Amino acid sequence: MLNATTYVTSQEGIGGTIRNQYEDFYVEEIPEVIPDGEGPNVYVWIEKLGRTTLDVVLDIARDLHISRKRMGFAGMKDKKAITRQWICIANMDSEDQFRQVENLDIYNTDFLKVVRGRKKLRMGQLKGNKFKILIKDLDDVQESAEIANEVLTELEIRGVPNYFGWQRFGKPRTVTHLVGEALVENDLEEAVRRYIGNPTEDEGEDNQKARKAYDDGNLEESLSLMGKGMRYEKMMIKELIKDSKKGELTDKSYMNALHALPKPLQRMFVHAYQSYLFNEAVSNRVAMGIDKYVEGDIVIDNEEHIVRDKSHEEFQELITNFKANPTCPLYGTKVPFAGGEVGEMEKGVLDKYGVKKEDFEVPKMPRLGSFGLRRNMRFQVWDSKATPTDEGVLCEFSINKGSYATAVLREIMKKDVI
């Protein structure tokens, strides 16, 4: 996982591969809000294959001829997987509108339930996610299952490092955090260039040509070369082409290009850079003891309230029982540092990258800036088991919302997991 270096478990990894086909990776949302069948909003329980949540949302909005702002979901689910989650369409009062939703035909997306709900669905309104993931290409499936169960048992007791997975940064084209870095450095032109231009060898030849044309200043040529997979790049470059006809491109032009993107994606850039730095802080803090209280830790409970005025022993008991967790910073303008050696470590991460807290204000685009927050440096895993099958080891487990299954698999496989 990007910028993650520390393991919790000591067993030798079983290796193997995942996502040989999308059906090998199954994710199901554990919802916080379940629609009751009445209300002005329409909820759809979808099963999608090989698509991002945002792609499905945009397709639904397009086919209903409504603003994407009326679409809500609790969390972004994997693209390279079979996933189930709720999507909410706000203010669809009439029966005709309800039937329009029922009759939608969205690519690689099944509507398993369509029901009415009273409240709109907001980001983060879920308890967690259930996973069923098949690990293939193993030397000894039976032995691998035994090792996987040992690792899962230890992780249930101690917790899992709360690293952000590759989905946060993008794969195979890992540039999201680099765009965020440019925004934090207040360089809008470079932020846009890193997203539209900046070709990498991990992409197809046509995409590389389109990106090189952008870097060479040939906007029209770049647009003409862009394939289907460059949906968001097209949104941005069309704004730039429009502005270029009025004269030289300015910071406002690049701002308009970024604003052409869906808001969740705009916000993802700085978040990804925060996540990149967070992973390094977690690596350093986990090395001090994932299930240990270290003097100076900022500890939060399961409602994300800071726990204060406890003795060392009381903090340790809360952590041992998963009633509270030490945290690391998602760096931002107002995030507090821990005390003692933990705080010195956290400041050292910023120093290493030449960044200050105030840089996260992003003054040219303050809506994309961040105050920052403290985030758990570990998460809980439950209902876990590993089962040998004819094809490999099937790992099943549930984890907290906002955490990544690949952090669990990383401990089992002891390799970079995407």
Active site residues: 78
- Enumerate the H helices of 31-158 as residue ranges: 53-64, 95-102, 141-158
Q: Report the amino acid identity of residue 307.
A: V
Number of helices (H), then strands (E), in the chain: 13, 13
User: Under a CB-based contact definition with an 8 Å cutoff, are residues 183 and 198 in contact?
Assistant: no
Q: Is 173 exposed, middle or buried (0-12, 13-18, 19+ CB in 10 A)?
A: middle
**C-beta atoms surrounding 196 within 10 Å:** 25
Backbone angles phi, psi at 393, to 5 degrees: -105, 125
Residue 131, C-beta contacts closer than 8 angstroms, at least 6 positions apart: 25, 26, 27, 28, 395, 396, 397, 398, 399, 405, 408
How are beta strands 393-400 and 381-388 bridged, if at all?
A: antiparallel
- Cα 383–Cα 384–Cα 387 angle in degrees, nearest 5: 130
The DSSP code for 197 is: S
Rounded CA separation 110/384 (Å):
28
User: Under a CB-based contact definition with an 8 Å cutoff, are residues 84 and 12 in contact?
Assistant: no
Q: Reduced to 3 states, what is the DSSP secondary structure of residue 5?
A: coil
